[in-house]
Structure 1
Amino acid sequence: MRDMVWTREDEGTPLYLQLARSLREHINSGGIGPGSALPSERDLSEMAGLSRVTIRKGIEQLIEEGVLVRKQGSGTFVARRIETSGGRLSSFTDEARKRGEDPGVIWINKSYAQPTEEEATALQIGNTARVARLGRVRLAGGEPLAIEHAVVPAEFLPELDSLGDSLYHALETHGFRPVSGTQRVRASLATPTEAGILCVKQNSEVLRIERMTWVASGRIVEFTRSVYRGDRYEFVSDLKEI
C-alpha cells in the first residue's frame, strides 16, 4: 500500500474524488488484493497528506461504488468479486460456504397462499393449489448480497415453522432436491427499496435473476425471482465449440 502513487489533479476536482481515483487505480492494478484490509484513516492521512475528513469522504465514495466494504468493528476491506457459474445448479448457502463465508438470512415473509395466475402457469399447478411464499435477504459474512422471492408448491416443503435458512436443504430433506433448471439473468437498476435493503445507492447496477427448477420426476419445484448486487457478482459460463 505504501507504493500507491498519489498526485493532485487540477483544482476543479475535489480532493476526496482525486483520492478515490488513486485508491481505485491502486486496487485495480493489484496493489492491494480482494479481501485485504485498507490502512486506517490516520495512516492514509499521513501517506497522502490529506485531512481525515477528506480521507473518509474518499473511502465513502469507493464504498458506494462497491470497490470497498466496511465491516462493523473490523475495518474497511477491498470487496471480493464473486464469480459464480451460470451453468451449475447450486444454492446461495452452498456457494457461500464454498467461498469460506458464513451465509445468513433475514426473512421478509414466510407464508402460505394461493398462486397468482403467472405463478400457477410457471409452476404448472392449479389456481387453487397451496404454495409457500418465501422472501429473504441473503447475507454472506453479514453483508447483504441478494434479495430472493421464491414460490414453491407447499407439498414439496416441511411446515414453514421448521424451515431453516436454506431452501434447497429443506427440499432435499423432504425428498425434493432440484436436479435441473433454467435461469435467466438480466441487468437492471436498483429501486429505492432494493437499494436500501442491499445497502447500495439508488439506481446502482443489479442483476435480476429468474429461476425455475425441476425434481427428478420432472415436476417444477421452484419459481424464484432474485436481485443480486451487480458490484459484487459476476456470472461466468464455459463456452465450447459446436
Structure 2
Amino acid sequence: MSALFRTGALPQGEGPLYLRLQALIRGAVEAGELKPADALPSERDLAEGMGISRVTVRKALTGLVEEGVVEQRQGSGTFVSGGRRKLQQGLSHLTSFSEDMATRGRRTTSDWLLRSLERVTPAEAMQLALSPGDLVCRIHRLRRADGVPLAIERACVPATILPDPGLVGASLYAAMAAAGRHPVRALQRISAANLSADEAALLGVSPGTAALAIMRVSFDEEGRPVELTQSHYRGDAYDFVAELSLSDQGRS
C-alpha cells in the first residue's frame, strides 16, 4: 500500500477522523498524487493501514462520492473520478453555505460585496411580510470553498432581527441564532440562469455561463419569514440533489 495510506498519514488536527481522511484523499487528488481512474485500497486495507475503523473509512468515502472526488463501482472498488468535480448538496435539510462546507472539511471564506441597512423594496416586503418603509439588513457576499468562488449570495433580513450588518461574521445563520431568530424551515426555488458580465467576473467564468439561480425564503419556529436570499451558484461546480420516495398513492 502507498505510504499515503499508512498510519500517521492523516492530517493533524482535532476534527473527526473521517473528515481528516477526506482531506487526505482530496488533497492527493488535487496535487496529482492520485490521478483519474486510479484505484483506492479497499475499505479493509485502508482501515488496517491507517489504524482507523472501517465505519470511519466508509463515512469518508461516502462523502467523497457525494462531492464527485471518487466513484464506487459495484464489485470493482473505489476509483478517482475523471473530469471536473462538482459539489453536491441535498435538498432535504436546511443548512447554511458555511455549515454545508464544514461537513465536507472545506474552508469557507467570503468576499463582502455589500453590508448595509436600507428600505425594503415592494417585492421584498411581500416575501418578508414587512410594511413599506421598513428597514432591512442587506448582506451580499461572494462565497468561496478552499479559495474557489462558488456562489454569489444576496441576503435580506428584517432590521428588527439584525439591526447592524456588522453583527454578521462568517455565518449569517449564526448571527440570526444569536438574535434568537434562527430559520427552521424554508421554501426554495431553483431555476436556470445565465450570469451577467459582473457576476461571471466574480465567479471566474465567462459572461453568459449557465448558473443555478436560487431564491429562498426562511421561516422561524413561529412561522414568521426571517430571511430572503437570492443566490447564483456556478453550474459547472455545484449540483443540488433530492431524494425521492414513492407516495402511498403510487404504491397502491
Establish whether TM, by shorter chain, passes 0.5: yes
* Selected match of 1:37 from 30, 34, 37: 30
Matched, 1:140 2:145: yes
Q: In the alignment, is the contact (CA less than 8 A) between 2:139 and 2:165 conserved in 1?
A: no
Q: In the alignment, is the contact (CA less than 8 A) between 1:111 and 1:160 conserved in 2?
A: yes
Q: What corresponds to 1:238 in structure 2?
A: 243
Q: What corresponds to 1:189 in structure 2?
A: 194
Q: In the alignment, is the contact (CA less than 8 A) between 1:145 and 1:229 conserved in 2?
A: yes
Cα offset, 1:165, TM superposition: 2.0
Q: What corresponds to 2:178 in structure 1?
A: 173
| 1:156 aligned counterpart, secondary structure | coil
> Which consecutive unaligned segments of at least 5 residues does structure 1 have?
1-32, 41-66, 68-76
Q: Write out aligned runs for 1:57-206 (5 A).
A: 79-157=84-162, 159-206=164-211
Q: In the alignment, is the contact (CA less than 8 A) between 1:34 and 1:79 conserved in 2?
A: no
Q: In the alignment, is the contact (CA less than 8 A) between 2:213 and 2:233 conserved in 1?
A: yes
Q: In the alignment, is the contact (CA less than 8 A) between 2:219 and 2:226 conserved in 1?
A: yes
> Distance in 1 between the 2:32 and 2:242 partners?
35
| 2:116 aligned counterpart, secondary structure | strand
Q: Write out aligned runs for 1:4-19 (5 A).
A: none
Q: In the alignment, is the contact (CA less than 8 A) between 2:218 and 2:226 conserved in 1?
A: yes
Q: In the alignment, is the contact (CA less than 8 A) between 1:187 and 1:205 conserved in 2?
A: yes
Cα offset, 1:34, TM superposition: 6.9
Amino acid at match of 2:158: P
| 1:165 aligned counterpart, secondary structure | coil
> Distance in 1 between the 2:113 and 2:165 partners?
13
Q: What corresponds to 2:213 in structure 1?
A: 208
* 1:104-161 deviations in Å (ceiling 9; x for gaps): 1111010001101101111111012111011110111011100011111011125222
**CA gap 1:123/1:106 in 2 versus in 1, 3 angstroms:** same
TM-score relative to the length of structure 2:
0.65
> Which consecutive unaligned segments of at least 5 residues does structure 2 have?
1-24, 34-67, 69-81, 248-252
**CA gap 1:102/1:223 in 2 versus in 1, 3 angstroms:** same
Cα offset, 1:239, TM superposition: 0.6
Amino acid at match of 2:166: D
RMSD: 2.1
Q: Write out aligned runs for 1:39-54 (5 A).
A: none
Cα offset, 1:79, TM superposition: 4.5
Q: In the alignment, is the contact (CA less than 8 A) between 1:37 and 1:78 conserved in 2?
A: no
| 1:210 aligned counterpart, secondary structure | strand
Amino acid at match of 1:199: G
**CA gap 1:39/1:235 in 2 versus in 1, 3 angstroms:** closer
Q: In the alignment, is the contact (CA less than 8 A) between 1:158 and 1:170 conserved in 2?
A: no
Sequence identity, in percent? Answer: 35
TM-score relative to the length of structure 1:
0.68
> Distance in 1 between the 2:245 and 2:166 partners?
45
> Distance in 2 between the 1:179 and 1:155 partners?
18
Q: In the alignment, is the contact (CA less than 8 A) between 1:34 and 1:78 conserved in 2?
A: no
Cα offset, 1:84, TM superposition: 0.3
